[in-house]
C-alpha cells in the first residue's frame, strides 16, 4: 500500500506544477505564433479584395495609382545596401574573427571595434536617420537622395552582417585551418579558399537577414530618401527615391479609400519580399546543415 509520507502529497503538487508548466509554455508559444499569423493574415486579407495587378507597374500619382516606383526604389536601396554594407560587413567580420592581432594580455583582438559594433546596433534607427538628415541631407546639401539613404541603412546593418560573418567563420572547424597551414598555404590563401568558402552559407544568411531589415525600415528613409513618384534615375544626390514603407506610413490614415488600398498593397508586397528573403535563408541553412550532418565534420 502507499505510504502516506510527505513525499506523496509533494508528488501531487509537483505533478500539478509540472502540468501547469507544460501548459504555460505551450500557451506562451501560442501567444508568439498566433499574433504572427494574425498579422500576416490581416495584411493579406486587407490587400487582396482590392488588389489590382496594375499596382505593380503604375507609379503613384498623388495618393492613387500604383506602387511601381516604390517597388523599384526599395529594390535599388536593397541592392545599394548589399554592395556597401555587404562588403564592409564581411570584411569587418573577417578582420574581427581572423586577423585582428591579439592584445598584450593574450585576449582576442579588435575589442574596441567589436564593442563599438555592438553599441552601434543598439542605437535607434531614428537617431541615425536624424544625424544623416542633419549632417548629409541638409549639412552637405545632398538633399533627399540615394546616397545618404544607402549610407544610413548600411551603417544600421553592418553590425548584423559583421556578427553573422564572425559567427559563420567561428563555426569553420579548426581542422580546416590547421590542415591548410600544414599543407603550406599562406594565411591569405587559406582564408580565401578554405575558411571563407566554408562560411559562405552563414554569411549569405546574414546578408539576406540584413536586406530584410533594410527593406523594412521607415524612419531613417523618411529623413534621407524623401519621397517621389518618379522612378529612380541612378543619380546619387539631389534626387529623392521612393520606397515601399512610405505609402504604408503616410497613406494609412488619409481620408481616401484609394490611399488605404495602396497602403495595404504596399504592406502585402513588403511582406512578400521579406518572406522570400527569410525562406531562402532558411533553405540555405537547412541545405548546409544536411551537408554537415551527412559528411564528417
Partner 1 sequence: MALTGRDAGAVPASPPGLGTGRNSVFRRMSSFGRSHETWAWKWTGWAAAAVPLFALTFTVIVLLVKAWPSIRVNGGFFVSGSAWKPGNTYGATVYTHGVAHPLGSSYGAWPLIVGTLQTSGIAVVLALPISLGAAFALTEQLPSWLARPLAFAVEILAGIPSVIIGLWGVLTLGPYLAQHVYPIIADHVPDVPVLRYFRNPVGHGEGLATSGIVLALMIIPIITATTRDLFVQVPPLPKEGAIALGMTNSEVARRMTIPWVRSGIIGATVLGLGRALGETIAVAMVSGAALNTIAPNIYGTMGTIAAAIVTQLDSAYTDGTGFAVSALAEAALVLAAITIAANVIARLIINRTSRNGAPVGRGI
**Please, which of residues 231-260 interact with partner 1 by CB under 8 A?**
245, 248-249, 252-253
Q: What angle do CA 81, 87, 93 make, to 5 degrees?
A: 115
For residue 100, the minimal CB distance to partner 1 (Å) is 8
Q: How many CB atoms lie within 10 A of CB 32?
A: 9
| Residues in 23-42 that interact with partner 1 by CB under 8 A | 24-29, 31-33, 35-40, 42
What is the Rg, in whole angstroms, of the alpha carbon atoms belonging to the chain?
25
Dist. CA 133–CA 222, nearest whole Å: 9
Neighbours of 139 (CB within 10 A): 11
Task: State the Cα–Cα distance between residues 65 and 70, nearest whole angstrom.
Answer: 12
Smallest gap, in angstroms, from Cβ of residue 266 to partner 1? 9
Residues 109 to 128: which contact partner 1 by CB under 8 A?
Answer: 110, 112-113, 115-120, 122-128
Q: Toward partner 1, which CB reaches closer, 179 or 235?
A: 179
User: Residues 170, 173, 175, 177: is their CA dihedral positive or negative?
Assistant: negative
Least CB distance from residue 239 to partner 1, whole Å? 20
CB of 146 to partner 1, least distance (A): 18
> Could you tell me the smallest distance in angstroms from the CB atom of residue 195 to partner 1?
11
- Output the smallest distance, CB 81 to partner 1, in A: 14
Q: Which of 8, 15, 103, 197 binds partner 1 (CB under 8 A)?
A: 15
Query: Rounded to the nearest whole angstrom, what is the least distance from the CB of residue 154 to partner 1 in the complex?
Result: 9
Residue 223 interacts with partner 1 (CB under 8 A): yes or no:
yes
Helix or strand (DSSP H, E) at 274 = helix 257-294
**183 sits near partner 1 (criterion: CB under 8 A):** no
Beta bridge partners of 65: 60
> Are the beta carbons of 216 and 166 closer than 8 angstroms?
no
Residue list 51-80, contact with partner 1 (CB under 8 A): none
Query: H-type helices in 133-218, by residue range?
Result: 146-170, 174-182, 187-190, 196-215
Distances (CA, A) of 8 to 1, 11, 19: 12, 5, 17
Site for partner 1 in 134-173 (CB under 8 A): 134-135, 155, 158-159, 162
Span interacting with partner 1, options 55-63, 142-150, 170-178, 208-216, rule CB under 8 A: 208-216
Assess contact for 248 and 80: CB atoms under 8 A.
no
Distance (Å, whole) CA 214 – CA 217: 5
Among 76, 81, 82, 191, binds partner 1 (CB under 8 A): 191
What is the residue whose three cell numbers read 498593397?
265
Q: Which is nearer to partner 1, 122 or 234 (CB)?
A: 122
The pattern of x and - marking residues 258 through 297 that bind partner 1 according to CB under 8 A reads: -----x---x--xx--xx-xx---x---------------
Amino acid at each position: 500500500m502507499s505510504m502516506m509520507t510527505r513525499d506523496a502529497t509533494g508528488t501531487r503538487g509537483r505533478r500539478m506544477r509540472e502540468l501547469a508548466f507544460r501548459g504555460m509554455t505551450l500557451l506562451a508559444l501560442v501567444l508568439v505564433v498566433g499574433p504572427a499569423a494574425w498579422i500576416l493574415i490581416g495584411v493579406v486579407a486587407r490587400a487582396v479584395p482590392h488588389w489590382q495587378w496594375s499596382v505593380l507597374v503604375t507609379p503613384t500619382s498623388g495618393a492613387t495609382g500604383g506602387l511601381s516606383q516604390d517597388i523599384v526604389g526599395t529594390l535599388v536601396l536593397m541592392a545599394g545596401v548589399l554592395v556597401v554594407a555587404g562588403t564592409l560587413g564581411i570584411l569587418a567580420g573577417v578582420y574581427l574573427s581572423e586577423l585582428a592581432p591579439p592584445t598584450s594580455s593574450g585576449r582576442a583582438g579588435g575589442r574596441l571595434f567589436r564593442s563599438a559594433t555592438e553599441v552601434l546596433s543598439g542605437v535607434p534607427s531614428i537617431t541615425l536617420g536624424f544625424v544623416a538628415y542633419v549632417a548629409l541631407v541638409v549639412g552637405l546639401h545632398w538633399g533627399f537622395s540615394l546616397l545618404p539613404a544607402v549610407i544610413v541603412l548600411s551603417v544600421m546593418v553592418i553590425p548584423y552582417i559583421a556578427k553573422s560573418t564572425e559567427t559563420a567563420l567561428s563555426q569553420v572547424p579548426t581542422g580546416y585551418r590547421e590542415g591548410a597551414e600544414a599543407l603550406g598555404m599562406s594565411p591569405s590563401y587559406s582564408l580565401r579558399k578554405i575558411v571563407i568558402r566554408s562560411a559562405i552559407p552563414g554569411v549569405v544568411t546574414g546578408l539576406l537577414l540584413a536586406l530584410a531589415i533594410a527593406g523594412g525600415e521607415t524612419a531613417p528613409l523618411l529623413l534621407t530618401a524623401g519621397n517621389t513618384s518618379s522612378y529612380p534615375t541612378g543619380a546619387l544626390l539631389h534626387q529623392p527615391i521612393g520606397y515601399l514603407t512610405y505609402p504604408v506610413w503616410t497613406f494609412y490614415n488619409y481620408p481616401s479609400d484609394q490611399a488605404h488600398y495602396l497602403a495595404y498593397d504596399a504592406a502585402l508586397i513588403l511582406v512578400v519580399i521579406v518572406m522570400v528573403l527569410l525562406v531562402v535563408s532558411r533553405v540555405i541553412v537547412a541545405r548546409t546543415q544536411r551537408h554537415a550532418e551527412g559528411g564528417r565534420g
